[in-house]
Every structure is written in structure tokens, then in C-alpha cells.
A and B are shown apart, each in its own frame.
Chain A
């Protein structure tokens, strides 16, 4: 008992030291804000400006952004801070961390903050696809802020070289395979010099796999986040398609493909098509030395892609006044104009439909139509895999996927094992 209190005291002291609180005048509310980016990048400047702009309009609220590193590091710091008693008032973390944060009793639903009709309209203004990862138990726990989907990028020069129409992306699985076959080049000794397609599989292979599984007509988990369906035949079928691209048809690099180097492979013309996040759009636009296209992922039985990215959360341990202030900030940051600006600056999808009617975004899309692809794909998007004990369950799936991709297991048994492990973990949440 004593031990715990001692720990609490030590942690609180440490917390107080890092988040030094100046004497707060009675009328100002201070809102600490965890944002998932490494200190010093260009994005920190955007966030700093955002906070300053908000403070100008709301002089009695002070926003203190704290840059918390990657998404992984942010959730780690967030939960540690919550356990030690001084969490940030609001934070942007992965939408899939919702169940983890609920289980830690760390967040309050936005519904508690809603008072006016205006607030209600705001809550309904987001693209429905983004809300799937933000709501459970009939409540809204996260407000979409920087969200993405998986899209297909293709190199128009290489398409021309291979005798394909450079302005037409593959529309379905069969075309994707046929195009990739035409785009794969081998030298005289049989070594591949250029791959047809590349789908990365390090770190979070489940996210890209959800593209395939959704297209095959499978849904991976229920809305309550306590049941997964990895052993459905459609899931194995989707995995078999991915595995066959490399093992059978040899149009996709063998083994595990690195997430981080995939865009570089694309720039270096080592692959003619790649699947990656819309968040890479600005990167590709700046660095691809050739004309490129962006398309929705090809359809299997249907089109499909998971959503991804970060939501605003409100801390349960903050005071009512702080929560209200943070709510105001989140609402302001997701207003149509702000959402449009964020989309322009970063390449993330603006989280609400009316943002695309703003003059700024209309002009951007007119100049650079690729930017609209991700928005149009939202119609077919599904929630990203998210369950209780999320990290553990996704690891069960990731291990199975990597085992199949490296050829140590066949797709169907690999998925059966992943399902058995997920069952074991989730059984007590029903």
C-alpha cells in the first residue's frame, strides 16, 4: 500500500516537473495538448500557429502543445501520464486506441460536452467512415482530426513503357495482377529489376491487409471490439491473393516489404505501383521524378480500404473547465476552414464533407485532382481494426500475416491460429 503511494508521489513530482504549471490567473484555463510528432519538424510549426490563432480568438484559454513523438510513443506517454495522475487535457492519438483508453478509464465521451444544437451539428458533420473508429457503446469517444486511407500510386512512365494506358489504374484484382505482370521486368539471368507492385508489410501489416480483406468482402471485427473474424474463408482468400502476388506470380517482392522504404522504391522505379497511405501524397508529389497517378484500391468483390490516423481525445482526469476548453479547441480545429487548411498543409483527408466546399480546398483539388481520390474512396472505407487489448490482438494478426508472407505457413492455417490467439485474449471482454 505504502509502496503504491510512494510511487504515485514520485510520479506526480516528476509530472509536475515536466509540465511546469505557472500560477494560473483565475480567468484563464490552461489546456495541455499531446500531439504525435517529433519535436522540430515542419508540422510543429503548423500546430504552434494553430494554437496561437485559437488563443487570439479565445483569450481566456491557453493551449500548450507538447510534441510526443510517434503515435506509439504518444499513447505510451499518454497512458503513463494518466497512471501518474497528470495526463494532458486533450491529445491526438490513433483512433484505434479508443478501446485501450476506455479500458484504462482515461477518457470521457464527447457527448458529455454537447450542449447546444450547434454542437450536435458539429458531431454529425464528420464523414461517417471516420466515425466508425470513434464510437462505441452508443457514445462518441474521439473527434476525427488527421485521418487517412490506403490508396494506390502508379508510375505513368512505366505504364507507358509496358504498353499500358498511363491514365488508367487497375480497377479490380484481375487487372491489378495483369498490369503487375506486364510491369515486372527481369534481366537475362532471371533477376527482377523492376517489380509490378509493392504492398508494405512491416510494423502494421494488418492495416494494408485490411484493404485486401475488405475487398474480399470480409469484416475483421465487431463494433463492440470484443470479437474478431480472422478465420472466415474470405480472409484467407484475401491473404492468399496477397501471398500469390509474390510467391506464385512473382510480381511482388518476396518476404516482408518495408513500410519506410516503399515510397523510395517507388521513386527509384524499383516498383511500378505501390499501396501506401494518403499521408504520403505530399511526399510523393515533391519527390517523384516522373508523372504519377493516385487511385482507389482495386476492387475484389467490392472496393475497400481501412481508414487510419488520429482523433482528438478528452482526458477524464482533467477538470470540467479544462474539458470544456479542450472541447472548444477540438471543435475549432475541425471547423470547415481549419480542416481544409490542415488538408492543404499535410495531405491528410479533410475530416468533413463541407471542408471540400471551401474556396481554398476547391482550388487545391482543381489543380491537383489526385487529392480528391482519398475522399472519394471514403464511401467504400471501413473502420481500422480496433479491439480491446488492441496491440495484442493486432499482433496476433500481424504474426499470422508475416508467417504467410514469408512462406512459413499457408494462409488459411495462419489465419486460424491468429483467430485462436485473438479469441483467447478477447474472451473475457464479452
Chain B
């Protein structure tokens, strides 16, 4: 009897959080899945069941494929670089250097700023002729480039913004993990005469692997989730050169009001991300040393 009351008690405590989770996460996800099999309702035409038509139409949409390619390049650009930078910065500010707190804060600042503000700042960095980049490059005789206005450079430019924004955030996780590593390991290594690099490669990096997995999963999700700066800086242009998957979903759903098509694309993206996350856990989990 007492056990039963405890169970009820437990569930009651969980209920508010569960209700909100169900209302704002599980239900919309399910509704999206259902909507993706229906046509978009218009004022004078109700939604009808159309099976896989939305998906079929999506796969024939060249802009979807371009957004996918762009997104893969964007992910390939942001994930390794921002993780690498994060480790480098964390190791650097973990040491006893002068003005350590200041440097840590400086690295973390981009994370605190809202992405919209960041994008607006970078918009002026990239401005041709009198933008920061143009002014820095001018003394070296490099002509002013229209960075965001050219199909060749626009995607790289928005990738750099994302790296700049994310590296500081990941650094915090690495910094916390580095401080968990017992100092005795470092002392032992220096007694044995291990070089700085050897110590990092053989001791610190393996011990950081659980953090790396966590950060990697987050980085992958972020690569498919951050579009604020696209909206501010390029609106997907020029000619879809910076259109990412989520931006395309936004465009379909809230510019074109084609909710059926947008739902179908959301489902595709969700399935894709879930597969990637599973794969990451399945492959990396086994190679990680948890203490």
C-alpha cells in the first residue's frame, strides 16, 4: 500500500513536466508526421489524405537537394573546426596564464550574444569596401570582395560566423572536463618526461572523450538547427547558395504557407538527425573510456 502511494506520488510530481513535454514536444512531432501525409489546407479546400505525394514532390525539388548539399558543407565546416578550436582554447585557458579569467570571458562572449545580434555585427564585418574585413585586407593589396553577395563565398562566410559563435560554448564543456582530470596525472607525466603534446594525445584527449561525444552530438544538431544568421545575413541567397534545410522548411511553411510540404520536410530532417545521433552513440560509445 505504501509502495503504491509512493508510485502515485512520484507520477504526480512528474506530471506537470510531462504534460508540458507532451503538449509542446511529443504532440507537435506526432501532428507533423500526420500532417505530412495530408495536402495543405486552403480556405476553400480542406486537407485531404495524399499518402506520400508531399515526399515525392520534395524529392523532385532541386532546391531541397541544394539545401542538403549546402547543409552538409556547412556541417563539415562547423563541426570539426569548432570542436578543434574549443579544445585548443580550453587547454590554453586551463593553464596558469596571466589574465586567465579575462581570456576565458573573452572566448565565451560570442555564446552570450544572441545569434541575431551576432549576424548583424558580422554583416558589417563582411560589407564590401568599408567593412572590417575589407579594411584589414586593404593594406595587403587585397581588393575588396563582395563576400556575402557572391555564390562562391557566401556559404563559407556564414559557416565562419557559426564557428565563431559555437567554439566558445563548447570550450566551457572542455574546460570543465579538463579540471576534472586529476593533477597527479600531469605530475606523473612530467616526471616521466612526456612532452606537452604526448601528454595531451595520450592522457588528456582520451579522458575528454565522453565530453567530445556530448559536444559532437550537440554540434551535429546545431549544424542543422541554427538558421537565425541565415535569415539576417542572406535570406538563403544569392540564388539559394546559403539555403540550409531548416531555412528551407521555414520558407515553405511560413513564407509559402505550404504546411503539408513543410511537415514532410521536417519529418525527413528529424529522421535524418535521429539516425545520425544513433550512429554516433553506437560507434563512439564503445571507444570511450568512462571513469
Please report A residues at the B interface, Cβ cutoff 8 Å.
Answer: 3, 7, 72, 76, 79, 100, 103-106, 189-193, 201-203, 253-258, 260-261, 264-265, 268, 270, 389, 391-392, 395, 398-399, 402-403, 405-406, 408
Contact = CB atoms under 8 A, between A and B. Distances in A.
B129 A254 contact: no
A268 B130 contact: yes
A293 to B, nearest CB: 23
Contact of A253 (B146, B234, B238): B146
Contacts of A254: 146, 149-150
Contact of A189 (B44, B141, B251, B255): B141
21 contacts: A7-B31, A79-B257, A103-B43, A104-B42, A104-B43, A105-B43, A189-B141, A190-B143, A192-B144, A201-B149, A202-B149, A202-B235, A202-B237, A253-B128, A254-B149, A256-B238, A261-B127, A268-B129, A389-B256, A406-B150, A406-B239
Given A192-B144, A201-B149, 19 more contacts: A104-B42, A193-B129, A202-B149, A203-B235, A255-B238, A256-B150, A258-B123, A258-B149, A268-B130, A389-B256, A392-B258, A395-B251, A395-B256, A399-B239, A402-B237, A402-B238, A402-B239, A406-B151, A408-B151
A398 B234 CA distance: 13
B111 interface: no
B69 interface: no
A258 B127 contact: yes
B254 A76 contact: yes
Contact of A255 (B129, B141, B150): B150
A398 B31 contact: no
3 interchain residue pairs of minimum CB distance: A105-B43, A256-B149, A255-B149
A389 to B, nearest CB: 7
A101 to B, nearest CB: 10
A170 B287 CA distance: 70
A15 B255 CA distance: 21
A191 B254 CA distance: 42
Contact of B143 (A191, A256, A265): A191
Contact of B130 (A202, A255, A270): A270
Given A79-B257, A261-B123, A261-B127, A3 B149 contact: no
B153 to A, nearest CB: 9
Query: Which of under 10, 10 to 19, 20 to 34, or 35 or more describes the interface residues of B?
Result: 20 to 34
Contact of A391 (B44, B123, B129, B256): B256
B205 interface: no
Contacts of A105: 43-44
A72 B151 CA distance: 25
A406 B149 contact: yes
Contacts of B143: 189-191
Interface string B234-248: 110111100000000
Is the contact region of chain B dominated by helix, strand, or loop, or is it mixed? loop
Contacts of B254: 76
B81 interface: no
Interface in B102-132: 123-124, 127-130
Contacts of B251: 395
A145 B128 CA distance: 36
A100 B31 CA distance: 25
A201 B234 CA distance: 11
Interface in B245-274: 251, 254-258
Interface string B15-42: 0000000000000000100100000001
Nearest to A105: B43
B223 interface: no
Given A268-B130, A270-B130, A255 B42 contact: no
B148 interface: yes
A391 B234 contact: no
A342 to B, nearest CB: 29
Of A72, A76, A391, the most chain B CB neighbours within 10 A belong to A391
A413 to B, nearest CB: 13
Nearest to B147: A255
A141 B130 CA distance: 45
A49 to B, nearest CB: 29
Nearest to A106: B43
A105 B240 CA distance: 31
Contacts of B255: 72, 391-392, 395
A111 to B, nearest CB: 19
A287 B237 CA distance: 29
A403 B239 contact: yes
Contacts of B34: 3
A232 B91 CA distance: 62
Contacts of B129: 193, 265, 268, 270
A105 B46 CA distance: 13
A103 B128 contact: no
B120 to A, nearest CB: 9
